[in-house]
Structure 1
Amino acid sequence: MTASRAEAAYSRAAAAFRTPTLDLLHGRFAPFVVATLSILFTADRASVPIADAHAELGEILEELRSGDEDDERRVPVGTGRDVGRNWVRLGWLVQQIDDDVEVYRLSAHAVEALEIAGRTGGGRTRVSNSRVRTLLEAVENLADSAEVDPARRLERLHQERALLDAEIARIETTGAADPLDDDELLEEAENVLHLARELPADFTRVAESLKAMQRDVVAHLRRDERPTGEVLREYLQRARDVMQSTPEGRAFAGALRLIGDPERIDALTDQLHSLLRQPFALMLDATQRAELDAIGRRVELGVEEVLAAQRRASHVITGQVKTHDPLRDRQVDDLLRDVIAGLHVWDGRGAAEPVRSLPLIDLGHLRQTVSDIRPPGAPAPLADAEDVEFPDRDTRAWGGPRYAELEEYVAGLGEEFDLGAAFSDTANDTRRPVDLLGLLEIAHRNGMTEHDEVSIVEALRPDGTARRFAFGAVTARTTKEDVHE
């Protein structure tokens, strides 16, 4: 019996040490891994673009390698990219796409390892009044929730109400709140920090359970040979109920009713800021104050991480269902199996056996009748521009330059003219900003000379508003023939 218990205990311990969490903490470069991950990922930086992470890893490696200690004992070999990819393989980092950018996130195992390292290196881990009271209150709440005898439940509620009434009467009589002393408040704050350190690993574990469920559903869907309609109904329902598909998701859904309200998160943040202004907060070190201040943000980011994983899982499952074709999937799977089997047999020297089966091509909808194979008739020719009537003069007024009117106007200005003066003297309906461009185009075509002076003109828009333009003074010719004289 003793031997069997010892074997079972040893098996459990060996299995625990094979998890990425203890593998991280027990590895040769554990101090480097813990220090680097705590630098790269913070409460306000839950994900890091992969390119940035590799660059920062390279800088940390270079800085630590330049120290006096033995490099091989302090940091691993390789570049920042090599180290990052290795951590993904070991299960400490997770790759995903956020807003079309590939990023790293801490895995649940890495978050748990950082929590253990932080709690162990944080100094005082002690049995305190606050810690024990938290345990007792949790047990009492559990017992109350499981109580089925209404008389005992009422007795408990009457006792709680009597204590509250006594406290209310005391404060109304004395006018004093009598808060706890600073040492007791410090114990309470340390207990809060202890509880808060466990949240990131819990949130990440829920998100990873949803991702694992997503992969399982997609793999199962590809193997499913039932009619597509039946598959659609089952898996679309599973996509809608994705949060209820895992034990972690169901637990989070219950917790979300407490922390999912933005007003509750705002109230939590305000309470934390108020606590940091209290005298006892000065007894906390800088790291503890920063952790206390970041609790609200940490909860908010954790909720966002889980909800993002839920949306991503629903999107992937729904997209897979919409494109699900059992016949095509089986054909592709059979083809891949034939190719892999042929590669195992082929020695690389002789001729390879060609693939003799391919998935059927989807030709879409073909013509079903050949009664009239001629194409439809050509469209009617466009009408001459002179025959077009503009029903709305205002619509035409917002169009391009009126070249015909401008050319007729320029023809009566003599051999040469100043473009700015000519534009200012033209009629209002050809003094629009676009007509200034048309006049410049005509001047450039016929030949023009630019001067150092600046011409300033005022153009009139069709709606009556004016706009001033400044340009280099231009003397233009009336006709193109004058350029060659």
Structure 2
Amino acid sequence: MSNTRAEAAYQRSVLAFKDPTLDLLHGRFAPFVVAMLSIVFTAERRSVAVADAHVEIGEALEELRAAGYDEDERRLPAGTAREICRNWVRVGWLAPQLEDDVEVYRLTAHAVGALEIAGRTGGRARVSRSRVRTLLDAVERLARDAESDPEQRIALLMQERDALDEEIARLRGDEAEPVDDEQLLEEAENVLHLARELPADFSRVAESIKAMQRDVVADLRRDIRPTGEILREYLQRGQHVMQSTPEGRAFEGALRLIGDPEHIDRLATQLRTLLAQPFSRLMGPAQRGDLDSIGRQVEKGVQDVLTAQRRASQVITAQVRTHDPIRDRQVDDLLRGVMSGLHVWMQSSKPSDRVEPLHTFPVSDIGHLRQTLSDLRPPGAPAPLPVTDDVEFVDADTRAWGGPRYAELEEYVLTLGDRFDLATAFEGADDDTRRPVDLVGLLEIAHRNGMTETDDVSVAQARRPDGTTRRFAFGTVTASTVKEPQND
């Protein structure tokens, strides 16, 4: 059975109130939300650093609480400014983004629309000549563009030209009269009414492009076809991202009117001229400011949309070039495992529990690989090396290039008295113990026995086994010949 008119209307109303825009205005803390978003975000300040937003909303919240507005729990939300902003992100009023490596908040299209509705409610809503004429002009233009008969379109254009010729003749004659200031004020209010919807429209276009980008990346990660087959398809979508959404296609048509810098400059010039006219004195300061900022709002909105388009194209292209279905599935499985483990841990953990981060991945220890399968017993440890003093070296020159000769150095140190200067002692050593490594060994013995280092610089010349020399400069070091006792 088909729905009745009442049921259809009710279902449409239910769907409408599920929209975040109406949810913001219908929420329990709607006045507070609208007030905070309107003072933090302005036409000249479209994005705010996350830290700055938390500070500003926190200060405003403290001022309202100090004024007694928190006596009714339905007026102000509980929690800190950071918790409040995180909730606004969750319900779709704020969108966190990165701009120049700084995390910022931006109003979503739903929040912009809600602020526009709230601001429009406080003004005058009346049927005026300007608004009716805007409606009639729009209907006339629609009818003319929808006409498929060329002769009929030519007749409509001729009528429009005749009307313009009549107006030109009237202005050249004696019948030209200035337009009344009240009528000009009505037309200015109509312009402001139309301009209030532009920020939300631009935000919807940018958000539709970002949503399309997320959908494309998600589809790409689920695509199991070979990379060569999907390159052309996804690169095409990345290069023509603006045509992928209805909002983007509509914006492209509008961009032909407002995208030209000359059009923006002409708009700014016309707005400055209007503000210099006598009728502008009838407008309030807020209205004058809104009228003056229309050009900047249009320019900023166009920049935001084009930035979203460029960023989406870059992300899609980068994802296609690095597409690896096997690796993506492994990463997805790993993330699902992490989320599952975190869910289990949260059920039994306490707020004070900490999770130690994993700084390095564990290395598997394979031990000793079995070389034969005939003997099931594990291999035994090798026999220890025999300890003996009469070790004969096949090549004496090889030993000369080895490490420090600690035994000879320690015997030499015992002949230097109670304390000695490291550089002087090294210069007086035998040639066999004056190698660069022996200087390191002597420094190690000095450090072990207790040494003192000063800011003076000492220079010592070392001699390699092949006869070459090398000079070393270091802080002057004096040391004891025996190990000094440690004080408890």
**So what's the TM-score if we normalise by structure 2?**
0.68
User: Cα gap change, 1:308/1:177 in structure 2, threshold over 3 Å: closer, same or farther?
Assistant: farther
Mapped partners of 1:264, 1:343: distance in 2? 55
SS at match of 1:269: helix
- Once the two structures are superposed, residues 284-321 of structure 1 have per-residue CA deviations (whole angstroms, 9 ceiling, x without a partner) of 11111111111111111111111111111111111111
Residue 149 of structure 2: aligned partner: 149
Alignment of 1:136-285 (within 5 A): 136-174=136-174, 177-285=176-284
Residue 59 of structure 1: aligned partner: 59
Structure 1 unmatched runs, 5+: 349-444, 446-485
Residue 17 of structure 2: aligned partner: 17
Deviation at 1:179, TM superposition (A): 3.2
Matched, 1:87 2:93: no
Residue 315 of structure 1: aligned partner: 314
- Aligned partners of 1:236 and 1:318 also within 8 Å: yes
Mapped partners of 2:333, 2:88: distance in 1? 35
Mapped partners of 1:292, 1:254: distance in 2? 24
Deviation at 1:103, TM superposition (A): 0.4
AA aligned to 1:19 is D
Deviation at 1:173, TM superposition (A): 3.3
AA aligned to 2:155 is E
- Once the two structures are superposed, residues 442-464 of structure 1 have per-residue CA deviations (whole angstroms, 9 ceiling, x without a partner) of xxx9xxxxxxxxxxxxxxxxxxx
- Once the two structures are superposed, residues 174-200 of structure 1 have per-residue CA deviations (whole angstroms, 9 ceiling, x without a partner) of 3x7533201111110110010000111
Alignment of 1:361-400 (within 5 A): none
- Aligned partners of 1:58 and 1:79 also within 8 Å: yes
SS at match of 2:44: coil
- Aligned partners of 2:217 and 2:316 also within 8 Å: yes
- Aligned partners of 1:49 and 1:101 also within 8 Å: yes
AA aligned to 2:75 is R
User: Cα gap change, 1:16/1:299 in structure 2, threshold over 3 Å: closer, same or farther?
Assistant: same
Mapped partners of 1:196, 1:316: distance in 2? 32
- Once the two structures are superposed, residues 330-376 of structure 1 have per-residue CA deviations (whole angstroms, 9 ceiling, x without a partner) of 3444555677789999999xxxxxxxxxxxxxxxxxxxxxxxxxxxx
Alignment of 1:299-378 (within 5 A): 299-334=298-333
AA aligned to 2:169 is A
Alignment of 1:58-137 (within 5 A): 58-71=58-71, 72-122=73-123, 124-137=124-137
User: Cα gap change, 1:216/1:276 in structure 2, threshold over 3 Å: closer, same or farther?
Assistant: same
AA aligned to 1:291 is D
Mapped partners of 2:108, 2:206: distance in 1? 10
User: Cα gap change, 1:345/1:203 in structure 2, threshold over 3 Å: closer, same or farther?
Assistant: closer
Mapped partners of 2:285, 2:64: distance in 1? 25
Deviation at 1:27, TM superposition (A): 1.1
- Aligned partners of 1:239 and 1:317 also within 8 Å: yes
Mapped partners of 1:311, 1:152: distance in 2? 42
- Aligned partners of 1:171 and 1:177 also within 8 Å: yes
SS at match of 1:74: coil
Deviation at 1:70, TM superposition (A): 4.0
Deviation at 1:237, TM superposition (A): 0.8
User: Cα gap change, 1:16/1:150 in structure 2, threshold over 3 Å: closer, same or farther?
Assistant: same
User: Cα gap change, 1:52/1:343 in structure 2, threshold over 3 Å: closer, same or farther?
Assistant: closer
Deviation at 1:15, TM superposition (A): 1.8
Larger deviation, residues 163-172 vs 26-35 = 163-172
- Aligned partners of 1:64 and 1:74 also within 8 Å: no
Deviation at 1:60, TM superposition (A): 0.5
AA aligned to 2:220 is L
Alignment of 1:431-470 (within 5 A): none
SS at match of 2:303: helix
AA aligned to 2:121 is T
Structure 2 unmatched runs, 5+: 349-456, 458-488
- Aligned partners of 2:24 and 2:111 also within 8 Å: yes
Deviation at 1:18, TM superposition (A): 1.8
Deviation at 1:204, TM superposition (A): 0.3
Deviation at 1:6, TM superposition (A): 1.8
Mapped partners of 1:214, 1:44: distance in 2? 27
Residue 402 of structure 2: aligned partner: none
- Aligned partners of 2:64 and 2:70 also within 8 Å: no
Mapped partners of 1:343, 1:199: distance in 2? 44
Mapped partners of 2:77, 2:33: distance in 1? 9
Matched, 1:287 2:269: no
Mapped partners of 1:219, 1:128: distance in 2? 49
Deviation at 1:160, TM superposition (A): 1.3
Mapped partners of 2:145, 2:2: distance in 1? 39
- Aligned partners of 1:239 and 1:313 also within 8 Å: yes
AA aligned to 2:295 is G
Larger deviation, residues 13-22 vs 204-213 = 13-22
- Once the two structures are superposed, residues 410-457 of structure 1 have per-residue CA deviations (whole angstroms, 9 ceiling, x without a partner) of xxxxxxxxxxxxxxxxxxxxxxxxxxxxxxxxxxx9xxxxxxxxxxxx
Mapped partners of 2:67, 2:332: distance in 1? 54
Residue 356 of structure 1: aligned partner: none
- Aligned partners of 2:49 and 2:103 also within 8 Å: yes
User: Cα gap change, 1:112/1:328 in structure 2, threshold over 3 Å: closer, same or farther?
Assistant: same
Mapped partners of 1:87, 1:320: distance in 2? 30
Deviation at 1:327, TM superposition (A): 2.7
Alignment of 1:43-58 (within 5 A): 43-58=43-58
Total equivalences in the alignment: 349
Structure with the greater alpha carbon radius of gyration = 2
Mapped partners of 1:344, 1:105: distance in 2? 31
- Aligned partners of 2:130 and 2:187 also within 8 Å: yes
Deviation at 1:7, TM superposition (A): 2.0
Deviation at 1:134, TM superposition (A): 0.4
AA aligned to 1:222 is R
Mapped partners of 2:344, 2:21: distance in 1? 41
- Once the two structures are superposed, residues 368-403 of structure 1 have per-residue CA deviations (whole angstroms, 9 ceiling, x without a partner) of xxxxxxxxxxxxxxxxxxxxxxxxxxxxxxxxxxxx
- Once the two structures are superposed, residues 110-143 of structure 1 have per-residue CA deviations (whole angstroms, 9 ceiling, x without a partner) of 0000010011112x10111110110110011011
Aligned-residue CA RMSD in angstroms?
2.5
User: Cα gap change, 1:327/1:7 in structure 2, threshold over 3 Å: closer, same or farther?
Assistant: same
Residue 478 of structure 1: aligned partner: none
Deviation at 1:145, TM superposition (A): 0.6
AA aligned to 1:146 is A
User: Cα gap change, 1:320/1:130 in structure 2, threshold over 3 Å: closer, same or farther?
Assistant: same
The percentage of counterpart residues that share the same residue type is 71
